[in-house]
Amino acid sequence: MSNILNITNGDCAVEIMKKANIPGVFLPWRDVLHEGPVPDGLSLEELSKVRAQFIVERSWGSTEEVTKSFVQRDDELKSFKKYEKVILWFEHDLYDQLQIIQILDWFNQNPAGEVELAIICTDQYLGRLSPEEMMGLAKYEEPIIAVHLELSSQAWSAFRSSAPEKWCKLLDADTSVLPFLAGAIVRLLEEYPNCSNGLSRTAEQALKIISGGEKHSGRVFGGNQKSEERIFMGDASFWLVLHELLESNPPLITLPEGKTLTLPTSKDQELTITSAGLEVLAGKLNWLEISRLDRWAGGVHLGPSNIWCWNPGSSAIVKKP
């Protein structure tokens, strides 16, 4: 069968799949759903406009190219009935798991009919595979059935909710049909401010690496990747975290006078932890007391009047009064 739509997590995977002579058409799903607003109550097209605006505001692409990418992506998805089969090729990390539940929720709302749906999802990073290894993943293909779609709709709705309780509650549900979803749920919750010091897991990892003597921003990013059980964050997202640490009052990290943090990075962008950073790491100071929280986790807009904290010890998400 060659009349296949292959949906996967990005352009790197597509290039390897082409080299592997995987049959069919390829649709990269490029959205970084763990960053920025993903509010509830919007159609695919309406949400794509919100996502495109966020990406443009972060200077991750021009308005024209980002908007065009989303429109082309959505049009290809909506035309899926011209194919005999749709195969989802994804990984085990947070970035991919959020994409999976978005796509499967869409198929739950738009029944496939005679089109065969299947998924390949393993703990291998697609962008790092050889063409031969990519071909070998075919043995992990399994059919997508009603339970996949129903769980994905439940999870996608919880992710887009304006409060995180439903997302956290999924940890009590049977998510085994999507075996990597539970880990992704926890990893997103770990990006909420920690109840003890106000830091996200990523921010705390970055501070620990810098406090350990690593000054080069690129190697700090590399150290952060090594700290992850399932790598999901790109350097552009990580730079947002570093900027937050640089811009709090007082800052938790500093650069040499006159230097700014940029991508691509350079050797003169040396990061140093401040006394305030050391106090936050030690739990003597809460970062929320010296910074203005303003970021999204799915449909939750975290801000001064809407602060939710993650307690890793009790696996609970708590709203600050």
pTM: 0.97
- What CATH number should be reported for the domain whose range is 4-188? 3.40.1360.10
* pLDDT single digits (tens) 42-77: 999 999 999 999 999 999 999 999 999 999 999 999
Instruction: Kindly give, in sequence order, each residue whose CB lies less than 8 Å from that of residue 150, ignoring residues fewer than 6 positions away.
Output: 108
Which of 143, 29, 139 minimizes the C-alpha distance to 87? Answer: 143
317, amino acid identity: I
The Cα 200–Cα 309 span in angstroms is: 9
Hey, do 4-188 and 194-292 end up sharing a CATH topology, with the first three levels equal? no
Query: What's the average model confidence in pLDDT over 94-116?
Result: 98
Under CATH, which architecture does the 194-292 domain have?
Orthogonal Bundle (1.10)
Query: What's the average model confidence in pLDDT over 265-284?
Result: 95
Domain residue ranges of the chain, discontinuous segments joined by +: 4-188, 194-292
* pLDDT single digits (tens) 170-217: 999 999 999 999 999 999 999 999 999 999 999 999 999 999 999 999
The per-residue DSSP string of 237-284 comes to HHHHHHHHHHHSSS-SEE--TT----SS--TT-B-EE-HHHHHHHTTS
